[in-house]
Amino acid sequence: MSAVSLFARGRLRDLSPATVARLLARTPSDDARLAAAVSAILADVKARGDAALREMAASFDRVSLEAIEVPRRAWQDAAATLDPRVRSALERAATNIRRFHEAQMPTDVTLEVEPGVRITRTWTPLGRVGVYAPGGRAAYPSSVLMGVVPAKAAGVGEVLVCSPPGPGGLPPREVLAACLIGGADRLFALGGAGAVAALTFGTESVPVVDAVVGPGNRWVTEAKRQVAGEVLIDSPAGPSEVLVLADASADARLVALEIMAQAEHDPDAACVLVTTSAALAAATEAELAAQLASAPRADICRQALTASGAVLVADSLDEAVDFANRYSPEHLSVMTASAAIDALRVRTAGTTFVGPAASVAFGDYMTGANHVLPTAGRARSFSGLSTINYLRSFTIQTITPEGAAAMVADVVALAEAEGLPAHAAAARARRAS
């Protein structure tokens, strides 16, 4: 059996600085060209609207769109003809997602910071949001639910979905059905950077939204990054990632299955094992080779492992944990003898799965936690999609005459120190009122 092709293998301490940097950065070599191409797409959609979208569908998706918006009747037909097992699973997933995201709703906070000065921070849902559901290599009805259901739980007024069209000009049946089950309001057969542009700038068919959320490929992620100043985005949720943190107690077959499950998403997926056991590392490589021999999406898995896959051996658990924190994976799978304790030591993952029973696949579909998560190391700063992404907060400040009078002197002092005499005058006027 031939060895599996990996970007990196061996002891962590022996990796070159360049190899470590490439593992941590996970930035494509053509990043500058991609950014320029995405910028051109955004500008084209902004300038030409639906005409640009139709041309992009013909060029990228190889379809001629009769209509950009998918009629609700098509959703209903898709749900009615969907495999009953799949429909039941989607309904169960939607229920769990709704339960968990409703529980995240924040409460208003009111505080009298000093006598006569009362401040309230209150929350309100966004008016309209756009959810991107990936397509192309596979159908992702789960991503529809992960975007739509939390928005509805937050009370968003209108939820739009964009998903790439298939050969018949419509997104896959499963995606159509998920829009109905999740409670979406409108669906558009649009993919890639063009979809992000349409939601951000609006076209003849697509209204402008307040936020764009959802995972996608490099093009979608780059488009979201570029429009972030125009519209709210959730996080840079790009190609899938997993880092498995394991010791000698782990089962090599389960480790390899977790790696394969993320590698099959996309050739740009990043999959890493870091372990304290050289024996486990060798056994995992053997398992990967065996599983690749019969995997239906083996070509995609091989591309991902060759480009960004790694099996690494740490001299200690501390070294392994340190690398995991620096790597900041989208998904962290902890398979150690003390998994519950060790999981808490990695503070930069998008989501963490504790123990051998906790496959990432359960979180991808069914637990109710959101699978739209930051990638490419951005979990250091960004959080996964949640109810909060569909809300905005503002403050209400109530000041009594007595409270105002008590603040005048200090406000005048600060206003004059900053050279803003009108501020000082506005404060002084309250002392006399």
Under 8 Å CB-to-CB from 190, ≥6 apart: which residues?
Answer: 53, 57, 68, 162, 163, 164, 165, 198, 206
HEC string of 94-129?
A: HHHHHHHHHCCCCCCEEEEEECCEEEEEEEEECCEE
Under 8 Å CB-to-CB from 275, ≥6 apart: which residues?
Answer: 244, 245, 246, 247, 248, 250, 281, 284, 311, 312, 313, 314, 320
Q: What b/e string do you get for 249-258 counting C-beta neighbours within 10 Å, with b at 16 or more?
A: ebebebbbbb
Sheet-wide strand order for 351-354: 8-11, 310-313, 270-275, 241-246, 331-335, 351-354
**Cβ neighbourhood burial of 163 (10 Å; 0-12, 13-18, 19+):** buried
Residue 49 CB coordination number (10 Å): 19
The CA radius of gyration of the chain, in Å to the nearest whole number, is: 25
Q: 383 with 349: CB under 8 angstroms?
A: no
Pairing of strands 232-233, 211-213: parallel
388 vs 392: CA distance, rounded Å: 8
Token pair 């298939």: residue:
166
Residue 208 CB coordination number (10 Å): 14
| Options 330, 402, 418, 423, the catalytic residue | 330
112 is catalytic: no
Residue 317 CB coordination number (10 Å): 19
90 vs 187: CA distance, rounded Å: 18
Residue 379 CB coordination number (10 Å): 27
Q: Which of 53, 28, 93 is nearest to 308 (CA)?
A: 28
CA 122 distance to own-chain centroid: 26
| Options 331, 371, 402, 423, the catalytic residue | 331
Q: Which two tokens stand for residue 356?
A: 């051998």
CA 248 distance to own-chain centroid: 32
395 vs 58: CA distance, rounded Å: 47
330 is catalytic: yes
Catalytic residue numbers read: 330-331
